Amino acid sequence: MKQNQDITRDRELLLGLAKGEDKSLEIIYSENFPVVLRMILQHNGSEDDAKDVFQEAIIVLYEKVQTSDFTLSSRLKTFLYSVCRHLWLKKVHRTYGLYALTPELEEVIPAAEELEEHEARDQEFRIMEGAMSSIGQPCQTILEDYYLHKKSMQEIAEKFGYTNAENAKNQKYKCLMRLKKLFFDQYKTPL
């Protein structure tokens, strides 16, 4: 009964997360981070490791709730814990070579499937991030302002001191072309 209630509450939180409500995100974060922190510390990780792993898990969760077919089958806590555990295992594997965690008694659900999808998305993100960082600061800011923060060309022109919006627009297209080129160079040949 209690578990059902928990799941209902978890589902509400997830709905909020899907809508992009900061409150839900905050609750999910503050409620689940301590457990993950504890686990990572227990397995010879640092606080920063815990932060990275946990945030990645939140991103996984976020990506999941964005796709409409995701339904939470276990408790949110279990889900996050399992994902974090997998992520941490992977990280440890990458950095230290073979290294086995002590078997856990806590409830763990298989999270490998979730992570596979996430990895593909993560790859795309890294490519975009890399492309963004290599087009230079001014270009990056213009593109981010226009495409991500949805500012008008007029605002951008004023912010960067272009004489008119048209000039800013030209600059934006130049930047966009560079970014596109960089992105697709890597995207088509993913590692």
Partner 1 sequence: MKEDMILLREIERYLEGEMSEQEKTAFETLRHTNPLVNKQVEEHQLFLQHLGNYGKRQQLQTKLNQIHQQLDMPSLRKQAQEENQTARRLTIRRRTITNLAAAACIALVTSLSTIAVIQNVSKNKSTAQYEDVRRVLNNIQRSQNAIISDMNSKSRAPLNPGTYGGTGFAVSGNGYIVTNYHVVAGADSVYVQNNKGEAFKAISIFEDISSDLAVLKIADSSFKSQPLPYALKPQSVKLGEEVFTMGFPRDEIVYGKGYISAKTGFNGDTTAYQVSIPVNPGNSGAPLLDSKGDVVGIVTGKQTTSDGIAFAVKSAHLKHLLDEMPKDKQTRKDWNHKSRLEGMNRVDQIKKLEDFVYMVKVYN
Binding site for partner 1 (CB under 8 A): 22, 25-26, 29-30, 33-34, 37-38, 41-42, 47, 51, 55, 58-59, 62, 121, 124-125, 128-129, 132, 143-144, 147-148, 169-170, 173-174, 176-177, 180, 183-184, 187
Give dist(CA 156, CA 33) in Å, integer: 38
C-beta of 12 vs 47, nearer to partner 1? 47
C-beta of 8 vs 42, nearer to partner 1? 42
C-beta of 124 vs 158, nearer to partner 1? 124
C-beta of 8 vs 166, nearer to partner 1? 166
Burial of 19 (0-12, 13-18, 19+ CB in 10 A): exposed
Instruction: Tell me the closest approach of the beta carbon of residue 10 to partner 1, in angstroms.
Output: 18
Instruction: Tell me the closest approach of the beta carbon of residue 174 to partner 1, in angstroms.
Output: 7
Instruction: Tell me the closest approach of the beta carbon of residue 7 to partner 1, in angstroms.
Output: 23
Contact 84, 34 (CB under 8 A): no
C-alpha torsion 132→135→138→141, nearest 10: -10
Instruction: Tell me the closest approach of the beta carbon of residue 173 to partner 1, in angstroms.
Output: 5
